[in-house]
Structure 1
Amino acid sequence: MEAQRAPADLPDGFGVAVVREDGRWRCAPMRSSSLKSLTAAETELRELRSAGAVFGLLDVDDEFFVIVRPAPAGTRLLLSDATAALDYDIAAEALENLDADLEEEDLEDSDPFEEGDLAVLSDIGLHEDVLGVILSETDLYADEQIGRIAREMGFADELSAVLDRLGR
């Protein structure tokens, strides 16, 4: 599926790399290119070369978010709103990587819905049921949902420090 919007400029938002190593959380800002390309985000996360868990939280235009978790067997993904693929290349790329069999007409007629691996973070502290509840809170913006994820998992302070440095 090809997204209809292909702006030359980057979308607003942020990307944060999250690392859990030796029982501690660490967060770092990701390059802005991660908001436009899952390949760029995945490459940047793999370059961290941590012995612990590594994942990225991408907030795109405060419209939706993507959780990207590279692993040796392949990258695990969660897209918070599959209908975003109509307007954003990175969301369309996520659906393609997930082998989601969704037609454009189906997306146009749908309310927002998640696509991907709800258990993407379950082994490091966020049960899929809790993530499902966060995703069901459609009155929250993507950055607020990411904040909830951080609070549930215990890295809210680390995330907040990165967002402060980014002026968010």
Structure 2
Amino acid sequence: MDLLLKQIRGCQICEGKFEGIVSPIIQASVDSKILIIGQAPGAKTLESGRPFNDVSGERLRAWLGIEPSQFYDSRMFAIMPMAFCYPGKGRSGDLPPPKICAQTWHKRLIQQMPNVELTIFLGQYAVHEYLNPAWNVTEAVEHFSTLLPNQIALPHPSPRNRFWLTSNPWFEKEVVPILQNIIKKLTQ
């Protein structure tokens, strides 16, 4: 695992091929119990070098019911985005994560994490890649009871998703408490 993480952090596959900044961000351990597959680091995360070290991370940790010290413990949480580098800014948010990243590294990383008991898919890119390419995020989140206990889909915790959260109040009323219960059991 240490060698693989070193290779990922030194990856230059995308250098000059997209508008983003090549500076891979990853958190993982062979002991990780919970795997979060998100989109890609944002601009603020890029500055700090820590995944979800921004407003999205605050919302995500609130949904999970955990403190930052737990979240940044790689023995508990692996954070493997669809792209490990910031893809750059688009018209209505960040650009999509380049597919080459997941194609190159995900399978190898997942094989190195045999203790994962729960995989959390954040947003459309993870849902389409790992769950069902025909589902939109709402459909994926609605399937929480059929995906649990080993998988769950969540909307991306970005502040840009305020409209989705307002339109789907059942998520925070029904899904978040169940998720927090599972997380509490896995992190004790």
TM-score, normalised relative to structure 1: 0.30
Computing the radius of gyration from Cα coordinates, the structure with the larger value is 2
Which has the larger strand fraction? 1
Which has the larger helix fraction? 2
TM-score, normalised relative to structure 2: 0.28
